[in-house]
């Protein structure tokens, strides 16, 4: 099924999950090799990233797997200098992310923007990874996981985990702030773990859905979209937008 986008006048947003919705991989695990090359992780941890990435691309991630990835990643990042992480992500973005952006997702984002809708990326990955991708795609704002930082380094604790109901809660907050009527808004995700997000809007879409989400989409008559074409067309030539980092604000 193909998505259609019509222009309307009132403030409306399209909310996009990132991993396996905009890109065909895990944005966090994708940086395992560069983190190893710069000495942030061991060879064993790098191999675990690669294995986890392959499993994620093939099978997706259940709730339990997401919880294990969260605990492992927060512990792994303890003591990393935040500025170094940002530098590594920026340096390797074209290598590990851009070739895996779905062409269909890129076109859909462009269509929503042409229709006057705000584009919001809502991801469980951290801001340091998601923000540069959002800039490349011209997104207006980002809702993402935020690690606690002390003296310029990760403390190993989370300030905000953008997952499950927490994603939907932050979307509702943003809608109240910006005047979005959520019944007019769109959302896109591949995973049943994002059901709270999809149920928060009037126009939910399942993208390459896992089995559980596919069943729900069929039961509720939600559009099911198939994204398959990763595009290598470079994004660097366009003017990059600076997305608002929604979880920057104090709570």
Active site residues: 17, 19
**Residue 209, CA distances (Å) to 133, 154, 198, 206, 229 in order:** 22, 33, 12, 6, 16
* Structure tokens that stand for 207 in this block: 């993208």
Cα distance between residue 64 and residue 69, in whole Å:
9
Contact 11, 118 (CB under 8 A): yes
* Structure tokens that stand for 75 in this block: 């512990």
Contact 105, 208 (CB under 8 A): no
Number of Cβ within a 10 Å radius of residue 23: 23
- Alpha helices for 41-184 (secondary structure H): 43-59, 63-76, 82-96, 103-114, 127-137, 165-178
Q: How far from each other are the two terminal CA atoms of the chain, in whole angstroms?
A: 40
Cα distance between residue 160 and residue 248, in whole Å:
10
* Structure tokens that stand for 90 in this block: 């920026």
Indicate the burial class of 193 (C-beta count within 10 angstroms; 0-12, 13-18, 19 or more): buried
């Amino acid at each position: 099924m193909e998505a259609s986008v019509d222009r309307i006048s009132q403030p409306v947003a399209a909310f996009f999950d990132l991993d396996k919705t905009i890109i065909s991989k895990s944005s966090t695990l994708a940086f395992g090799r560069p983190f190893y090359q710069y000495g942030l992780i061991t060879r064993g941890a790098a191999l675990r990233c690669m294995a986890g990435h392959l499993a994620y691309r093939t099978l997706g991630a259940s709730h339990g797997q997401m919880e294990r990835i969260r605990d492992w990643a927060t512990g792994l990042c303890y003591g990393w200098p935040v500025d170094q992480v940002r530098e590594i992500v920026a340096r390797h973005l074209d290598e590990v992310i851009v070739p895996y952006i779905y062409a269909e997702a890129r076109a859909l984002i462009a269509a929503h923007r042409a229709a006057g809708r705000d584009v919001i990326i809502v991801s469980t990955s951290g801001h340091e990874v998601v923000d540069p991708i959002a800039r490349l795609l011209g997104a207006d704002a980002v809702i993402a996981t935020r690690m606690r930082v002390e003296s310029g380094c990760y403390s190993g604790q989370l300030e905000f985990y953008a997952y499950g109901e927490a994603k939907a809660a932050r979307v509702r907050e943003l809608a109240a702030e910006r005047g979005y009527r959520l019944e007019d808004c769109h959302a896109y995700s591949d995973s049943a773990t994002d059901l709270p997000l999809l149920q928060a809007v009037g126009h939910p879409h399942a993208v390459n859905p896992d089995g559980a989400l596919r069943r729900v989409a069929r039961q509720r008559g939600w559009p099911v979209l198939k994204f398959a074409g990763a595009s290598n067309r470079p994004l660097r030539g366009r003017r990059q937008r600076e997305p608002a980092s929604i979880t920057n604000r104090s709570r």
